[in-house]
Structure 1
Amino acid sequence: MQEIGAVAEVFRTARGFGSSPLYSRLLEVVAGDGSLLELAARTRPGQQPTFALFGAVHHLLLTGTPDPLAEYYPSVVGADARPVDGDTGPAFTRFCAAHSSRIASLLGTRLVQTNHVQRSLVLPLGLALLRRTTPAPVCVVEVGCSAGLNLRADRYAYTVGGRLVGDRGSAVHIEVNVPDPGPLPDLDTLPDIADVVGIDLAPPDLTDEDDRAWLRALVWPENSHQAAQLQAAMAEAATDPPRVVAGDAIEIGPAVASTLPPGLPRLVVHTATRIHVSAEERPAFDAAVAVFGADGPLLHLALEDDHLVAPSGRPGVGLTATDATGSRTIAVADGHLAWLEPLPAMNDGA
C-alpha cells in the first residue's frame, strides 16, 4: 500500500491528461477525497496511482458493470457520452464506494502496462539513427514492454511530418505530427533486426481475454483512435509474438543481455516506464540498461524526461538518446507521441 500523502500529491500535480477532459476532472475529485485516496493507495508500490485507479474503474465499466457513471465514458456509450459536469465527481465517488473491493483487487494485482502503440515510432527512429553509423544488424530491447506490441514497430506504417514510411500495407497506421521533419533520419532506410526481446514485470498474455481487456482499459475513454490502434496491433502481434521475458530488468537484465548475439549494436528503448520505478531504484534501473552495452555498441532511447518545452512552446516530454558520446535530448514530444519536435541534437552522436 502506498503512502496516502504521496498519493494525494500525485493526483494534485499530475500532468499530461489534456486529451481526457474526464480524467482531468477526476484528478481533482480524487485529490480532494480521503476515501478515494485510501482506495488509490492500494496501488502496488512503484505504480502510478492515477493510471491504476482510472484503469481499474474503466475496466469494470468496459466489462459490463452497470452504473450511471458509464454515461460519461465515450468508450462505453459512444458519441452520446455526457460531457463532464457537476455530477461527474459524485458519480465516480459513488461507483468507487459501491465497487471498492473489486477495484482494490485490481489495484493489488494489476500493473500499469499501457501499450500506447503511437509510441512505437521511437523504435524505428532509433534504428534509423543507428543506420547512420553502422550497416550492421541491430538487437532491439524494450524495457517495460507490456505485451510487446511496440516490438513489432518495424511492421507498422507511419505518417511522419506528412510523409508515409514503414510497411505501407500494415493494418497498424500511426500518424505523428512533426512540424519540421528535416532533422529526422531516413525512416525508410533501417538496418536489419538481428534479435528482438522485451522485458516486463508481468507480461500480459495476448491469448487471455482478461489481459486484453486490461490493456484496453488503460486507454483513456475519449481516445478511440488509440483503442483502434491497440486492437490492430494486438492482432498483428498475436500472429508472431515477440520474445518477452518476465521479470524485473534490474534483476534479469544481465541474463537477458547475455542472450543477444555478441558484438552487434543494441537499441534499448523505454517509454513512460522509468516513471513507474521507485526513486530509490532508479539508479539500479539505469545501470541495468547500461549493461546491454557491455558486449556491443549501445543506443539507449528514453521517452521519459517530463516538464520540457518544445521549440513551438508546447509542454511535452523529452526523448533522450544515450550512447558512447554521452546523453542528449534529441526531441520533445507529446507523452503519447501524437506530435514530435526534433531538436538540433538529433544529429549529434548516432
Structure 2
Amino acid sequence: MTVSLAEVKQRLRRFAEEEAAGVSPLYEHLATRAADDDEVAVLLTVARSGFAKATLLLAAVHRALQAEPFHELVNYYPSMGGSYGLDGGTWPLFRRFVVERADKIGKLVAAHTTQTNEVRRAALLYPAVALAAKQAQAPVGLLEVGCSAGLLLGLDRYGYRYQTEQSGQVVGGPTKTPLGLHCALELGPGATLPSVPKKLAVAARVGLDRDPVDLADEDATAWLEACIWADQPERQRLFTAAAAFQRGSPPELLTGDAVADLPAAAARVPADLPLVLLTSNVLTYLPDEQRSAFVAAVRALAAERPVWWVSHEVYAAALAWVLPGRADLVPSAGGPGFGVLGLTRWDDGVPDAVALARTAMHGERLVWLV
C-alpha cells in the first residue's frame, strides 16, 4: 500500500520537529522544507509499505550525491567533506538536485529501506547484555533480529567510555581494540551505576534480516553509509572502523522474516548457550500485529531454552507488549523522542521485564533507571 502525499508531508514535518531538531541542523532544515514541497515529498510515496520515512528520502538523496562527488551540493554535506553551514542557498540547491534526478532518486526509494547500522548503539546495549550474561552465569549466544550488516553483534569486542557525573569516566570492554565508543551516562532518581565489565563472553553470533548486508559488497556498503545522517561525520568514521573490524571475523547472517524465521535462526545458536536476543530500532517498522506475533515467537523460544530479550526501541514498539502501563516511558506530545532499553525473560510463559534506561536513539547518551 502506497502512502498518500499528505501523510508523507506530515511524516517529514514530524521528523524535522521530533527527531532532527537539535541533533541534525541540515536534516531538520531539509525535512522542514520538503514537507511543504510537493515535487520533493512525492518521491517518498513510492516507498515499500511501512518504510515511507523521512530518513529514507534523505538517504536516497545522499546516495545519489555520492555518485556525483563534485556537485556543488557536496559543500553542504560534511560526510563528503563539505564545510558550508546552512544558508539561503542550501534548500534551493538541494531542491534542484532532487527534482532534476527525480527518476533516479525515486528508484532508490522504491528499491531500498532505511538500514542504518548504527554502531554507537552498542554502547547502549552493552550494559544490558552484560546484565543478561551475569544472570545466565555463562557465555552467551547473540541473535540480532534486524541486524543489517551485523555490526552490533561485535559489541563485546569494542571499547566503551561512559561519561558520568558521579564517577567521572567509566571504562568497559577490552582495552586493546580498534574501535572505542563514547556515551554520556546519567542516573535517574534512585538508580545506581550499571555494571560495565571489561570482558563479556560471547560464544556465538547470528544475525537475521530480511535483507542482510554483505560488507564485501561495495554498493550495499555505500547504501549503509548513505543512511548515516550527512552532517554527522563522526558516525561515518565509526561505521567505517567497525566495518573494517568486522570483515576480519564476520558473524553468520541469515536472510529471513523476523517472525516466521526466528526459530530457525535461534537454532543456529548452540542449544547449550543462553540465548540473548537483540532488537535495536527494528520493531518500530512493524505493524502492531507483527509486533504481537514477534513477542509471541520469543515467548515460544523461551519455553524451550533460556532466553533474554534486550530491546532498544521506542516504548510502544517493544517493551509496552511485556511491561504495559508505563506512561513515563512515552515522550510528551511535541517533545523530543527517545528510545527505551529493556531486558525481558520469561518464567513459565510470564514475562519478567524491566526498563533499564531511556536513550538517545543513535547511542549518544542514556539515562539509567534501575
TM-score (norm 2): 0.85
Determine the structure 1 residue equivalent to 2:172.
Answer: 165
What secondary structure, in the 3-state scheme, does the structure 1 residue paired with 2:143 have? strand
Determine the structure 2 residue equivalent to 1:21.
Answer: 25
Determine the structure 2 residue equivalent to 1:340.
Answer: 366
Post-superposition shift, 1:3?
3.0
Choose the corresponding residue for 1:300, options 301, 309, 313. Answer: 309
Deviation >4 Å, runs of 4+: 306-310
Post-superposition shift, 1:123?
3.8
Residues paired across the two proteins, number: 340
Q: 1:227 to 1:65 in 2, by over 3 A?
A: closer
Counterpart contact for 1:48–1:112, Cα < 8 Å: no
Alpha-carbon separation, structure 1, partners of 2:281 and 2:259: 17
Counterpart contact for 1:262–1:295, Cα < 8 Å: no
Determine the structure 1 residue equivalent to 2:155.
Answer: 153
Answer yes or no: is 1:206 the counterpart of 2:209: no
Post-superposition shift, 1:11?
1.2
Choose the corresponding residue for 1:92, options 71, 91, 94. Answer: 94
Segment drifting more, 146-155 vs 128-137: 128-137
Answer yes or no: is 1:241 the counterpart of 2:250: yes
TM-score (norm 1): 0.90
Choose the corresponding residue for 1:115, options 114, 117, 124. Answer: 117
Alpha-carbon separation, structure 2, partners of 1:122 and 1:246: 25
What secondary structure, in the 3-state scheme, does the structure 2 residue paired with 1:23 have? helix
Q: 1:112 to 1:32 in 2, by over 3 A?
A: same
Alpha-carbon separation, structure 2, partners of 1:159 and 1:308: 28
Alpha-carbon separation, structure 2, partners of 1:69 and 1:189: 44
Answer yes or no: is 1:253 the counterpart of 2:252: no
Alpha-carbon separation, structure 2, partners of 1:328 and 1:339: 19
What secondary structure, in the 3-state scheme, does the structure 1 residue paired with 2:221 have? helix
Counterpart contact for 2:172–2:197, Cα < 8 Å: yes
What one-letter code is carried by the residue in structure 1 that aligns with 2:202? I
Unaligned 5+ segments in structure 1 are 345-350
Post-superposition shift, 1:236?
0.6
After TM superposition, list the pairs within 5 Å mapping 1:179-190 onto structure 2: 179-180=186-187, 183-188=192-197, 190=199
Q: 1:262 to 1:210 in 2, by over 3 A?
A: same
Post-superposition shift, 1:220?
1.0
What secondary structure, in the 3-state scheme, does the structure 1 residue paired with 2:182 have? strand
Alpha-carbon separation, structure 2, partners of 1:36 and 1:303: 32
What secondary structure, in the 3-state scheme, does the structure 2 residue paired with 1:147 have? coil
Post-superposition shift, 1:258?
2.6
What secondary structure, in the 3-state scheme, does the structure 2 residue paired with 1:234 have? helix
Determine the structure 1 residue equivalent to 2:345.
Answer: 323
Alpha-carbon separation, structure 2, partners of 1:285 and 1:99: 39
Post-superposition shift, 1:317?
1.8
Determine the structure 2 residue equivalent to 1:45.
Answer: 49
Alpha-carbon separation, structure 2, partners of 1:23 and 1:191: 37
Q: 1:321 to 1:127 in 2, by over 3 A?
A: closer
What secondary structure, in the 3-state scheme, does the structure 2 residue paired with 1:296 have? coil
Determine the structure 2 residue equivalent to 1:132.
Answer: 134
Alpha-carbon separation, structure 2, partners of 1:228 and 1:191: 25
What one-letter code is carried by the residue in structure 1 that aligns with 2:90? T
